[in-house]
Amino acid sequence: MQQLSNVFKHWFFAAAMILVLLTSACAGAANAATVASNDALARGTNTQLGEPTVRFAFKTGMVEGRMAFIGVGGDLDGQINPDLSVQPGDVVEITLTIGDGMLHDWAAPDLGAATEQISETGKQAVVTFQAGEAGEYSYYCTVPGHRQAGMEGRLLVGNTAASAETNPAADVSIVRSPDDLPGPLNRSTPETVRVDLETVEVEARLADGTSYKFWTFNGKLPGPFLRVRVGDTVEVHLKNAANSEFAHSVDFHAVTGPGGGAVATQTKPGEETSFTFKALNPGLYVYHCATPMVAHHISNGMYGLILVEPEGGLPAVDHEYYVMQGEVYTVEDLGTKGSNSFSVEKLLDEQPEYFTFNGAVGALTGENALTANTGETVRIFFGVGGPNFTSSFHVIGEIFDRVYDQASLTSAPLTDVQTTLVPPGGATMVEFNLEVPGRYILVDHALSRMERGLAGFLMVEGPENHEVYEGTETEGSGH
Ligand SMILES: [Cu+2]
């Protein structure tokens, strides 16, 4: 058998999961050799099965920066990775058309079915197979990395009402929108400010089809963005919801005093505590739960930012955004659907399954993307809840005009910075002007973490600016 004699390597960026994926391609009859674990797959049409009783067609393409099977014709037309429902015994025909000029196949390995691997735009491959036992099966592209990059769906055989069991908790979003923050205080004198926090435990979406029991401040992730002025007296009230299972507390890095307030706020379910502090130092500070095991409470979502405005406030900008990075440690492997549970072993080993901006995979894409127009200035308040990983914060396609390093607002900012380090329990404030329209991508430049959920979009509209940037988008760029 011809071995891997013709191997082509394609490097490309896939955007919501930008990563450099290595795809290897073999020509012609050697295709099966590219996927060793799928050697047993019967690729192509089995003529002994007779006429198909069910037909589905897909085209490959990029959607929102992810690779996808896009339904063609019938009820599936235009749908991304749609559920396919068939009955046991059905002869199923799948037609795959290449729409993006990249190497792909369509496979349901648990049913022993796969098309040939093809790559030429417009080319088609067909597989027919018989649907066996009732159950839920996965279909996906077996080219290495493509399943993870988005090419995966469900094939439901038999009683679809039972097998198409969904996870309603995965439809509950507790993502805090990045524009959910109060505006400048415009105050020249200190005041007494009351802050009300409530700790709430809630099962919600971690990723598509995956939910997790998060612990939050005020029901969203991150906790509310708090804004006070230097010299203010801040009266903190912490309530723990009656239906909580755990005690919680809050430690503000903006506090001068024992535990940052944590020693005064260990709060049992249904109870309330309070303490008062004077905001002595201006800056942008993390707050978090500090109830043992503290790393557990933080990784479950209990973190937020408090801005202590300096005298005179901050310089005016067109948009202010609020983004925090965190880690989630699940027993289940990355991508496992259903309700996932917390792994203390992985937490102690510092091996998260997920990295998130604002609490969930892809939280800052789609309707929660950051937006701006060319000619405007954007400020991002960025913090790391963690609990463990330092972020190499970067915006793909932009340069930070100003970085308030370590979130020090009383030092002169660094200028013209590509990537800035933000430690766990730390923050930064970055500002940049927008000259060119397009999609810019917030990342931690430790880019393997993008494969585990870290990506946010900044969508910029405005007229093209060919003096600054000119180029034609190439297929598969993902940007
Ligand atoms: Cu807690």
Which pLDDT tens digit goes with each residue over 234-249? 999 999 999 999 999 9
CA distance 384 to 412: 22
Helix (H) or strand (E) holding 202: strand 192-207
∠ CA(183), CA(189), CA(190), 5° rounding?
85
User: Cα(210) to centroid of ligand 1, in Å?
Assistant: 22
Distance 290 CA to ligand 1 centre (A): 6
Residue 356 Cα to ligand 1 midpoint, Å, equals: 19
Whole-number pLDDT of residue 45: 67
Q: How confident is the model at residue 314 (pLDDT cuts 50, 70, 90)?
A: very high
- Tens-place pLDDT, residues 358-381: 999 999 998 999 999 999 999 999
Q: Which two tokens stand for residue 156?
A: 């439901």
Q: Which CATH class is domain 173-479?
A: mainly beta
- State the distance from the centre of ligand 1 to the C-alpha of 38, rounded, in angstroms: 45
pLDDT in tens, 90-120: 999 999 999 999 999 999 998 889 999 999 9
Q: Give residue 386 CA to ligand 1 midpoint distance, Å.
A: 14
- The pLDDT confidence band at residue 450, using thresholds 50, 70 and 90, is very high
The better pLDDT of the pair 474, 183 is held by 183
Residue-wise pLDDT tens digits, 74-96? 889 999 999 999 998 899 999 99
Give the three-state DSSP class for 358. Answer: coil
**How far is the centre of ligand 1, averaged over its atoms, from the C-alpha of 230 (Å)?**
27
In the chain, what percentage of residues exceed pLDDT 90?
78
Sketch the domain layout of the chain as residue ranges: 8-165, 173-479
Segment 251-275 shows an average pLDDT of: 97
Distance 337 CA to ligand 1 centre (A): 26
Q: Do domains 8-165 and 173-479 have the same CATH topology?
A: yes
Q: What is the pTM of this model?
A: 0.76
Contacting residues for 47 by C-beta, under 8 A, at least 6 apart? none
- Strand 319-328 relative to strand 233-240: parallel, antiparallel, unpaired? unpaired
Task: Say how many Å lie between the CA of residue 45 and the centre of ligand 1.
Answer: 56
Residue 286 CA to ligand 1 center (angstroms) comes to 15
- Taking domain 8-165, whether its CATH number is 1.20.1260.10 is answered by no
Coil, helix or strand at residue 472: coil
Distance from the CA of 214 to the center of ligand 1, in angstroms? 10
Average pLDDT over residues 67-72: 94
C-alpha 378 to ligand 1 mean position (Å): 32
Cα–ligand 1 centroid distance for 424 (angstroms): 17
pLDDT band at 16 (very low <50, low <70, confident <90, very high): very low
pLDDT in tens, 153-193: 999 998 755 444 578 899 999 999 999 999 999 999 999 99
Q: Report CA(270)–ligand 1 centroid distance (Å).
A: 14
Q: Determine the distance separating the centroid of ligand 1 and the alpha carbon of 27, expressed in angstroms.
A: 55
pLDDT band of 17, cuts 50, 70, 90: very low
State residue 50's pLDDT score: 82
| pLDDT given for residue 75 in this prediction | 85
Least confident range from 15-29, 56-70, 428-442: namely: 15-29
| SS3 state of residue 388 | coil
CA of 470 to the centre of ligand 1 (A): 49
* pLDDT at residue 6 is higher than 90: no
Span from the CA of 152 to the centroid of ligand 1 (angstroms): 36
| Cα–Cα distance for residue pair 253/21, rounded to 1 Å | 40
Query: How many Å lie between the centroid of ligand 1 and the Cα of residue 291?
Result: 5
Contact 176, 221 (CB under 8 A): yes
> Over 50: is that where the pLDDT of 22 sits?
no
Distance 243 CA to ligand 1 centre (A): 14
Residue 107, SS3 per DSSP: strand
pLDDT of residue 43: 79
Question: Which pLDDT band, with edges at 50, 70 and 90, does 121 fall under?
Answer: very high
